[in-house]
Amino acid sequence: MGSRENGVTSSTSRGSGNGGAKVDKEVDFANYFCTYAFLYHQKEMLSDRVRMDAYFNSVFKNKHHFVGKTVLDVGTGSGILAIWSAQAGARKVYAVEATKMADHARELVKANNLQDVVEVIEGSIEDITLPEKVDVIISEWMGYFLLRESMFDSVIIARDRWLKPTGVMYPSHARMWLAPIRSGLSDHKMSDYEGCMDDWHGFVKETKTYYGVDMSVLTKPFSEEQKKYYLKNSLWNNLHPNQVVGTPAVLKEIDCLTVTVEDILKVEACVSSTITKEDTRLCGFGGWFDVHFNGRKENPAECGVELTTAPSIDDGTHWGQQVFLLHPPVRVNDQDEVRVNFSMTRSAENHRLMNVDLAYEIKLSSGVTLPPVANKFFIE
């Protein structure tokens, strides 16, 4: 569940989790879970038509997966997926929610006359116990660029513990995409950064003049802090399809039935993209994801559904895309090739945030290859 209101506070938490390493639960709550306890935040996600349509259709167009079956909704929030599962004919639905939002989910279930089917359980999925294994695990766990927030870890743990050997995952598959983009943001952010440094230099001068303290030794760390903030932190953006200037490439494919937490600790790929616009600027890369509701080989969906967060005019989502900006942008042309070495790992300070190494190399259509450029980014 990507969230404009952050969903994760990027403070320097001393707890960290990396595929099993200890996460301080109280800190995790203060940094992460707490925003989901607000109805305003739930409403934001419930108002995302594309998201709602995809899950709604995935359930109601595949009732055979639900009728008379048992379902687990991981991170039920307001309870919407649990309610739909029950309305689609489930025998029993366990709706697990870590925050006090569980109280509202319980109210909502009752108000929709489904309390005999849906049981709301407040707690972390890692800690709670169910009386039985389930036929379906349904969850909306996706963060910005799919894995921000690392909520999928919890779904995998739930699957390994509570899904029957014949059970089905909703969604069943996920993919991460990357494409070269053009964007005015690159110039804007550089301009903001430069303005910020101009202001800093004025500040250093004044502090020396009026207060007798020489702050120039802090110029370097200040500029690094601001560079990170303005130039290296990935941005939420709602890209227009015209901003995609080359063929999108798949960075990662996930089978939600078999993937392990180990598999998603690191996303590493070497991909290639062909520029598809004449005489344009490569200002950065846009990252997004899609998920599919296909069921499983032994028990497929009758009607497969796709939820994509690719740049779109009419069908944008609250996830937007994550934008990694280059400084400076590079002039490119139709048929130039951009080769990207992409590597994303979890931040040591906060396992729900990411570090990205993105190196690109441009091979011009003339055959000349430009020197590779390496960049570090942060998904906060």
Cβ proximity to a copy of itself: between 12 and 366 the closer is: 12
CB of 15: closest distance to a copy of itself in angstroms? 6
What is the CB-side half-sphere exposure of residue 131 using CA atoms within 13 A? Answer: 6
Distance CA 92, CA 72 (A): 9
Q: What residues act catalytically?
A: 140, 149
Q: Which stretch binds a copy of itself (CB under 8 A): 79-87, 318-326, 351-359, 372-380?
A: 79-87
Per CB under 8 A, does 54 bind a copy of itself?
A: no
In angstroms, rounded to a whole number, what is the distance separating the alpha carbons of residues 358 and 268? 10
d(CA 188, CA 146): 26
Q: Is the dihedral of CA 152, 156, 161, 162 positive or negative?
A: positive
Residue 34 interacts with a copy of itself (CB under 8 A): yes or no: yes
39 belongs to the binding site for a copy of itself (CB under 8 A): yes
The region of 62-70, 82-90, 176-184, 327-335 touching a copy of itself under the rule CB under 8 A is 82-90
Q: Which residues of 12-26 are buried (b: 16+ CB within 10 A; e: fewer)?
A: ebebbbbeeeebeee
Yes or no: say if 154 and 141 are a contact pair by the CB < 8 Å rule: yes
- DSSP reduced 3-state for 55: helix
Of 21, 67, 111, 348, the one binding a copy of itself (CB under 8 A) is 111
What token pair was written down for 248?
């999108």
Contacts of a copy of itself in 212-241 (CB under 8 A): 212-218, 221-222, 225-226, 229
Amino acid at 294: N
Per the structure block, which two tokens stand in for 269?
């790929």
Question: Measured in whole angstroms, how far is the alpha carbon of residue 218 from the centre of its chain?
Answer: 34
192 in contact with a copy of itself (CB under 8 A):
no
Tell me the two tokens of residue 176.
Answer: 């991460």
Closer residue to a copy of itself in complex, CB, 52/128 = 52
Query: What are the two backbone dihedrals, phi and then psi, of residue 367, each rounded to the nearest 5 degrees?
Result: 110, -20
Closer residue to a copy of itself (CB): 200 or 236: 200
In the set 69, 104, 252, 346, which binds a copy of itself (CB under 8 A)?
A: 104
Rounded least distance, CB 5 to a copy of itself, Å:
11
Binding to a copy of itself, residues 144-163 (CB under 8 A): none
**Is residue 210 part of the contact set for a copy of itself (CB under 8 A)?**
yes
Query: By C-beta, is 24 or 119 nearer to a copy of itself?
Result: 24
* 38 lines the binding site for a copy of itself (CB under 8 A): yes
Query: Residue 110: what residue type?
Result: K
Distance CA(252)–CA(62), nearest Å, equals 26
Beta-carbon contacts of 184 under 8 Å, excluding residues fewer than 6 positions away, are: 283
Number of residues that bind a copy of itself (CB under 8 A): 52
Nearer to a copy of itself, 58 or 183 (CB): 58
Sites for a copy of itself among residues 12-31 (CB under 8 A): 12-15, 24, 26-27, 29-31
Q: Phi, psi at residue 58, to the nearest 5°?
A: -60, -40
CA gap 219, 242 in Å, rounded: 39
Closest distance between a copy of itself and the C-beta of residue 160, in Å?
28
Nearest to a copy of itself of 36, 162 (CB atom):
36
CB-based contact 273:249 (threshold 8 Å): yes
Interface with a copy of itself (CB under 8 A), residue from 1, 90, 95, 108: 108
What minimum distance in Å lies between the beta carbon of 274 and a copy of itself?
Answer: 40
Please state, in angstroms and rounded to a whole number, the distance separating the CA atoms of residues 356 and 221. 21
Among 100, 240, 327, 339, binds a copy of itself (CB under 8 A): 100
CB contact at 8 A, 177 and 271: no
Residues that bind a copy of itself (CB under 8 A): 9, 11-15, 24, 26-27, 29-31, 34-35, 37-40, 43, 46-47, 52, 56, 78, 80, 83-84, 87, 100, 104, 107-108, 110-112, 200, 203, 207, 210-218, 221-222, 225-226, 229
